[in-house]
Structure 1
Amino acid sequence: MTAPQYAGKVDEILLGLTHAVRAAGVPVTYDRATTFLEAAALVGAGGLAQVRLAGRATLCAGPEDIVRFEQVYAEWFAGRDDLPRRVDREEQNELVSPLPEDDGADGVEGEADALHVAASEVEVLRHRDVAALSPEGKALLDRMIGQLRPRLPVRRATRRTAWRRGEIDVRSTLRAMLRHMGEPARVHHRRRGTRTRRVVLLVDVSGSMRPYADALLRLAHAVAQAPRQGGSSGAVEVFTLGTRLTRVTEALRTRDPERALVRVAEAVPDWSGGTRLGQVLQVFLTREHTRYLARGAVVVVVSDGWERGDGAELAVQLSRLHRMSHHLVWANPHRGKEGYRPVQVGIVAALPHVDKFVAGHSLRAFEDLLEVIAHA
């Protein structure tokens, strides 16, 4: 994989490198990316050796990050001996447009072909398995997930509001008549309003889910940022599942997704560990601060079903969760793959108790999952 040609725009090439490094699992924040660009400018961004040293010093926080950075760096600059010369802003304003000056049919046709190819690549990416994407593809996927606009489900509220039709609002109608000295006035109507129904996301971050965890948490961040009706507070709750239950709702309320994921990584102690879904769900349904969250909510469990504990215990807890929730959805990254069979212990225990069993391996699957949530 080689870096794209940006006609001398060194900063764009280096920013592309930061996106690829972040997609590989290194927690690169906005501040780190900015510091990297400044460091590369100071040491001389025209040389790849200087870029490598600047990246190691600013983007990496530990030995594991350095290993990942080196791998991405080698792939990103494969086949390149040097970077283009850095162009000043005055020079950028004087650059000739890279598009051809000829406005004839050939230019229009070439531009249309380029747009068609770009659109086709994006459409292919929407159906690709997240685990099979290259760092460059994951960086593009991250941007596409950020452009999703989830809609939260709604429920009927107990309080009634004024409306142009519906049941007669006797009190408002009588008050209007009194204002008119008892003369007949316009009949007022009312209806039950709507409020956002709570959505609870339980995301498996065990070792078997590691290739999908970053994309799924980005999807959870998009859901947590979705607008809500009726001033509903706490409409979205997000937990990670592994060997323990961890609430990451506050971290995902951070508007910037990169900062939010860094906060999640700092809060989750069992990242890429084992899986004890039955025990963790029991904690969720019995702990004082979480046991009420599933009542009347849309609960989404995202897991591949690899359970190290007792499948019978998981079935019991899922049965309780199904009775409490309004709608129980299980999303499995392997569900959409050809030849998949639900033979895992967790999936066998879950299927009798879930309302929807959907895929969760690609951007298209994420979009379908959001539609299921919106209409639950």
Structure 2
Amino acid sequence: MTTPVVNPPDAILLAFARAVRAAGVRVTADRERGYLEAVRALDITDPWAVLVAGRATLCASQDDLARHDQVYEAWFGGELARLLPAPPPVHNQPYAEIEKDADPAADDSDQDDLVTAMASATEVLRHRDIARLSQRERNALARLFAAIPVHAPTRTSPRLSAARRGRIDARATLREQVRRLGEPGPIRHRRRTDRPRRVILLIDVSGSMSAYADAFLRLAQRFVQAGGPVEVFTIGTRLTHITRALTVRDPDRALIAAGEVVPDWSGGTRLGEGLAAFLRAWGRRGPVRGAVVVIVSDGWERDQPEALGEQVRQLRTLAHRVIWVNPHRGKDGYAPVQQGMAAALPHCDDFLAGHSLATFHELSEVIGSA
């Protein structure tokens, strides 16, 4: 009798994501990666976590949710028993008032209602204002950051590299003919290739941004861990370079390391001075040229707003794209009336919200397509 072959967990999860795509859900490669990362971040031994992670990362509509659940029920009916030998644990929900019947003989309908409520609570949490979350809800939200798809924007390299197609490389073709002693050989080609474009994040950690700074640093840590050329700075009363601190793989430990480096957490705001110091050290001959620069701030400026506008104008002449993210942008009735915000906005390419996990997904897409 032979021992049955058990597929690795990632292989099973990836095959499931592709089965969902075959069922009519638009599952992209980014969503597949986000699904795998979300399951790892939650608990791969928890079937409810596997279900909720799939609903949060693979689906975009109610129809997608219905198709996903049908595939989940059919797919994991047999595979899940081998992958997860232990019975699913009971969850204490930090962000929804959900109680599961302690009776082990609870019927399947109660379990279905629990799963539906959990998925609904996760979707609601994605759109909640971070500043209004309780500490328990923030802890639950932190686990969902692993599902944000992150990839670096690209630029076309000025150098030509060998390729199967493209313009004919006369020198390489001639060298090939000489190597063959005049016998006919393949024609060599070369073309310009795409390279990752640098991303620079400037995060305001002043007192007015304290409710959102932690979440934006978690997002910055995701970009650093993605492996592309990324630099992260904090701006308050001074400029602080924190990229090295965010190279720690564990997000919570990375934020602790960043907090030990930043001396002006929840202090005053001097955006103009901070940007001026940034341009002096990293400007014309530094990595700013051709980069995607993301400024995260509510726009409150302690000094002259005209100076802030001038620094953003200079930054725009060097960078490929300047994106300003304001947590208040997504709130009803908001208008950029702050003097600093009004002075900087004409020199920005994009003005985005940044108050919820859903807006972080949007920001990641804008950066990746810049």
TM-score, normalization by structure 2: 0.70
Aligned residue in 2 for 1:308:
302
What is the CA-CA distance between 1:366 and the residue it aligns to? Answer: 0.5
Matched, 1:335 2:329: yes
Query: Structure 1 counterpart of 2:176, which letter?
Result: A
| Whole-Å separation in 1 of the counterparts to 2:342 and 2:88 | 62
| Whole-Å separation in 2 of the counterparts to 1:96 and 1:359 | 37
What is the CA-CA distance between 1:288 and the residue it aligns to? Answer: 6.5
- 1:206 touches 1:270 (CA, 8 Å); kept in 2? yes
- Cα gap change, 1:99 to 1:150, in 2 (>3 Å): farther
- 1:164 touches 1:189 (CA, 8 Å); kept in 2? yes
What is the CA-CA distance between 1:287 and the residue it aligns to? Answer: 2.8
Matched, 1:247 2:241: yes
What is the CA-CA distance between 1:255 and the residue it aligns to? Answer: 1.3
Q: Could you say which structure has the larger radius of gyration?
A: 1
Aligned residue in 2 for 1:158:
158
Query: Structure 2 counterpart of 1:117, which letter?
Result: A
Moved more, 158-167 or 341-350: 158-167
Aligned residue in 2 for 1:351:
345
Aligned residue in 2 for 1:368:
362
| Whole-Å separation in 2 of the counterparts to 1:366 and 1:140 | 16
What is the correspondence of 1:1-376 to structure 2 with a 5 Å cutoff? 107=108, 109-228=109-228, 235-287=229-281, 292-376=286-370
| Whole-Å separation in 1 of the counterparts to 2:288 and 2:88 | 59
- Cα gap change, 1:366 to 1:99, in 2 (>3 Å): farther
- 1:284 touches 1:290 (CA, 8 Å); kept in 2? no
- 1:131 touches 1:212 (CA, 8 Å); kept in 2? yes
Query: Structure 1 counterpart of 2:205, which letter?
Result: V
What is the CA-CA distance between 1:274 and the residue it aligns to? Answer: 0.7
- Cα gap change, 1:179 to 1:125, in 2 (>3 Å): same
| Whole-Å separation in 2 of the counterparts to 1:99 and 1:352 | 61
Aligned residues: 275
- 1:154 touches 1:195 (CA, 8 Å); kept in 2? yes
| Whole-Å separation in 2 of the counterparts to 1:96 and 1:362 | 29
What is the CA-CA distance between 1:149 and the residue it aligns to? Answer: 3.0
Query: Structure 2 counterpart of 1:299, which letter?
Result: V
Q: Secondary structure at the match of 1:158?
A: strand
What is the CA-CA distance between 1:256 and the residue it aligns to? Answer: 1.4
- Cα gap change, 1:122 to 1:95, in 2 (>3 Å): closer
CA deviations over 1:333-365 (Å, ceiling 9, x no partner): 000011101101121011110000000100011
Query: Structure 1 counterpart of 2:197, which letter?
Result: R
What is the CA-CA distance between 1:290 and the residue it aligns to? Answer: 8.9
| Whole-Å separation in 2 of the counterparts to 1:95 and 1:339 | 45
- 2:323 touches 2:352 (CA, 8 Å); kept in 1? yes
- Cα gap change, 1:154 to 1:95, in 2 (>3 Å): closer
- Cα gap change, 1:366 to 1:291, in 2 (>3 Å): farther
- 2:283 touches 2:289 (CA, 8 Å); kept in 1? no
| Whole-Å separation in 1 of the counterparts to 2:89 and 2:254 | 40
- 2:149 touches 2:361 (CA, 8 Å); kept in 1? no
Query: Structure 2 counterpart of 1:156, which letter?
Result: T
Q: Secondary structure at the match of 1:299?
A: strand
Please, which runs of 5 or more residues in structure 2 have no aligned partner? 1-85, 91-101
Query: Structure 2 counterpart of 1:294, which letter?
Result: V
- 2:297 touches 2:326 (CA, 8 Å); kept in 1? yes
What is the CA-CA distance between 1:289 and the residue it aligns to? Answer: 8.5
What is the CA-CA distance between 1:277 and the residue it aligns to? Answer: 0.6
- Cα gap change, 1:290 to 1:333, in 2 (>3 Å): farther
Q: Percent identity?
A: 52
- Provide the aligned C-alpha RMSD in A: 2.4
Query: Structure 2 counterpart of 1:112, which letter?
Result: D
Q: Secondary structure at the match of 1:346?
A: helix
| Whole-Å separation in 1 of the counterparts to 2:194 and 2:159 | 9
What is the CA-CA distance between 1:189 and the residue it aligns to? Answer: 1.6
